[in-house]
Amino acid sequence: MDKYTKTVFCNLPTAAELREALASAEGSDVRRQLASLFDKNTFVETGAFVKRGSSDFLSTTRTSEFEGVVCGYGAIDGKLCYVFAEDVSRMCGAIDDRHAKKIADLYRLAISNAAPIIGIFNSNGTDIFEGTSALAAYGKIMSYATRASGVIPQIAYITGKCIGTSAAIASMFDIIVKDASATCYVTSPDLSGIEGAQDGMVSFTGEAEQCSSFIRSLIAFLPSNSSIGVQTADVCTDNLNRKLGNLDFCGEGLAAVSVIADNGLFYELSRDYAPETVTAFASVGGVRCGIVASSFAVNEGRICAASARKISRFVSLCDGFSIPVITLADSYGLAIDPENEDLFAPELAKLAFAYAGSTCPKITVIMKHAIGAGFVLLGSKSLGADIVYAIDDSEIGALSAESGVAFAWDRYITEDKKREDLIAEWKNTVSSPVNAASSGEIDDIISVNELRARICSALLMLSAKGNVSATPKRRILPL
């Protein structure tokens, strides 16, 4: 053993000294965040003693720092869950090779044990002195996020800076929660001139306590992995046959969600993004579901590029974990969206792809309007919906009654037959739910009063979809 090696090993701290150094950080922001997420005294750290690698460009004092990410596992609402948390109090949270290795090791545990993973993002970026090995660290994390996609739920929690490639990594997660004081961007707003450009990918924004509570609720709601299938409660705490009376939702999608959800409880995602569409998780009749609801009160519920992106991502997430999708359609079709015209067709294609390619149970209710592409793209039977209902006074057709009359019936307007009369006649004939049902695209025409009861019935009927694969033991001979 040479003199240099002897010196290095003589200077290594003891295990007791390392534990004391770790204990001194117990009151840090990261430790408080972990304590707020996990059930009390359940968090166990992995790779606790990993320190940063040496570099010819760094001072020896900095090489003694612990790696800038805390990894471990514990229980959230009694469910096993894994977490990595970037810690700016160590190395400024800088990402390097050992940082990525800790996260990769954690991902291997999460995937092999089929349990959710939470990533807490707060870093000033990469360690530029490590060059390509630091850049490769980003790729390693991305690789494992890709391997876990659709296998286990991945929740990103942005608590501080999440910039550049880190923002891309966070967007690979299924759900993104962001502290109101945090920043997330690829290009600095000082250079791009755009504030909040990445807010569209965020599912929930709030104060620290609100974010922790929301994440805990999501972990409790979501299945631990993709193999669990449709989740149903042993006992539903709300009346499956609860009647709604003659409610008028006034075109508010959120109001419709609240009345069909068990006990009015739901978790809305991406509230401020594309507000003409509501996406939320809720239990309906004891079955855990995802709900897509058009808000006709916002731009007549028209589908724009942003709302198409919002719905397609949500439906894809639900399908990945066998969560049934309820679609409450109330839309006049497509929006005129000149700013996003170059993105419009691909986003609409993704929306159609999400519905048509999904195998989870799908139930659609046409609430008031389903015009043009609004009928086709929002969970139609032609795109794979299992059950489609229409409210008895809904309007369904290629054109709205006003546009239809202007296009085809203008010549019938007389002193005795006014435009308003023709519009009413169009609604009662051409665009009536009875006419749509006669083509086989609607399974039944229902009233608002029975909306929840009929959805609950359909959900329970479909609850085994994807969970079982019935194959014959032998064919039964005819008599």
Q: Report domain extents, the chain.
A: 3-221, 253-462
Task: Identify the weakest region by mean pLDDT among 152-166, 271-285, 396-410, 459-473.
Answer: 459-473
Does the pLDDT at position 437 exceed 90? yes
Find the mean pLDDT for residues 415-422. 79
Give the residue-averaged pLDDT of 341-347: 90
The predicted pLDDT at position 176 comes to 97
Determine the average pLDDT of the residues in 107-114.
98
Q: Return the percentage of the chain with pLDDT > 90, whole number.
A: 66
Q: Residue 2 has what pLDDT?
A: 57
Cβ–Cβ < 8 Å for 150, 320: yes
* Average pLDDT score over residue span 316-322: 96
Residue 255 confidence (pLDDT): 96
Span 330-347, average pLDDT? 89
Separation between Cα atoms, residue 331 and residue 278, nearest integer Å = 12
The pLDDT, as a whole number, for residue 63 is: 52
Sign of the CA dihedral running 308, 309, 311, 313? positive
Q: Which fold has domain 253-462?
A: 2-enoyl-CoA Hydratase; Chain A, domain 1 (3.90.226)
Distance, in Å, from the CA atom of 2 to the CA atom of 228, rounded to the nearest integer, reads 57
Q: Which of 113-117, 374-378, 427-431 is the least confident region?
A: 427-431
pLDDT score of 57 more than 50:
no
Task: Tell me the pLDDT band of 56, cut-offs 50, 70 and 90.
Answer: very low
Task: Report DSSP letters for 401-433, one per residue.
Answer: HHHHIIIIIGGG--SSS-HHHHHHHHHHTTT-H
Q: Is the pLDDT of residue 53 over 70?
A: no
Q: According to the model, what pLDDT value does residue 8 have?
A: 46
For residue 257, pLDDT over 90 is answered with: yes
Instruction: Assess whether pLDDT exceeds 90 at residue 1.
Output: no
The predicted pLDDT at position 410 comes to: 76
Q: Is pLDDT at 184 greater than 70 in this prediction?
A: yes
Q: What is the pLDDT of residue 28?
A: 75
Judge whether residue 387 has pLDDT over 80: yes
Reported as a single tens digit per residue, the pLDDT across 122-174 is: 988 777 777 788 789 999 999 999 999 999 999 999 999 999 899 999 999 99
State pTM to two decimals. 0.90
What is the pLDDT, as a whole number, of residue 60? 40
- pLDDT mean over 323-351: 92
Across 344-372, average pLDDT = 96
Lowest mean pLDDT among 5-19, 21-35, 363-377: 5-19
Structure tokens at 123: 């870093």
Amino acid letter, residue 193 = G
Q: Is 42 buried (19+), middle (13-18) or exposed (0-12) by CB count in 10 A?
A: middle
Please state, for a pLDDT cut of 70, what percent of the chain lies above it: 90
**3-221 matches 253-462 in fold:** yes
Is the pLDDT score of 9 beyond 60?
Answer: no
Instruction: Tell me the DSSP string of 248-268.
Output: --TT-HHHHHHHHSGGG--EE
| pLDDT tens track for 95-107 | 888 899 999 999 9
* CATH class of the 3-221 domain in this structure: alpha beta
- At residue 4, does pLDDT exceed 70? no
- How far the first Cα of the chain sits from its last, in Å, is 88
The mean pLDDT value of the chain amounts to 88
